[in-house]
Amino acid sequence: MSFIIVGLGNPGEEYEGTRHNAGRLAVSLLSDDWSDDQRTNSLIAKAKLGKKAVTLLLPETFMNLSGAAVKSLVKSVKAAAELVVIRDDLDLPLGRVKMTFARGAGGHRGVESVKRAVKTDKFYQIKIGISPTTPGGKLKKPQGEDKVQKFILSKFKPDELKIL
């Protein structure tokens, strides 16, 4: 079995370039040859990373329902060990990347959806930081659910996209 790399985000033009779509943006850069896959309700592509064949997946569902698309390709706990979910992370500074295995969702509802669908947390996550920092390097995360929602659904500024 080849690795399955999933870019979490929301479909549609209104969500392009938003912070919550950092994972979707990263995976979309890995191929120019996407096809609409009705079975998975996703955009899907094949690629190679080094000599390893991979399947790229961009769910065409909203973030919180991403698990359904992933489940159609990851049919066992064993298969989940070759799943890589790329997603945004509010707890990391803009542009910082962190890879984990068998970790919780950290409040990320897209990851929670995937975890429920594949019935395990034994998969890889590549987290892409989306939070600004102070000149001293401290995170400037929004506080409160309303402010968090507004922030993650806001678009990256051009200079922030360069950092990513």
Catalogue the active-site residues. Answer: 20
Residue 32, amino acid: D
b/e sequence 39-60, b meaning 16+ C-beta within 10 Å:
ebbbbbbebeeeeeebbbbbbb
Q: How far is CA 94 from CA 78, 139, 155, in A?
A: 33, 9, 13
Q: What is the largest CA-CA distance in the chain?
A: 48
Write down the pLDDT at residue 1.
58
Given a contact cutoff of 8 angstroms between Cβ atoms, the answer to whether 50 and 30 are in contact is no
Q: Mean pLDDT of successive 10-residue segments in the chain (164 residues)? A: 91 94 95 91 92 94 95 91 96 96 92 96 97 90 91 94 89
The backbone region for 30, taken as left when phi is positive above 0, alpha when psi lies in -120 to 50, beta otherwise, is alpha
Alpha helices (runs of H) in 44-129, residue ranges in sequence order? 66-71, 77-80, 109-118
Domain at 3-163, CATH homologous superfamily: Peptidyl-tRNA hydrolase (3.40.50.1470)
The domain segmentation of the chain, as residue ranges, is 3-163
* Residue 125 pLDDT: 98
Sign for the pseudo-dihedral over CA of 68, 7, 88, 123: positive
pLDDT, residue 164, reads 86
Q: What local confidence, expressed as pLDDT, does residue 151 receive?
A: 94
Both structure tokens of 94: 């803009």
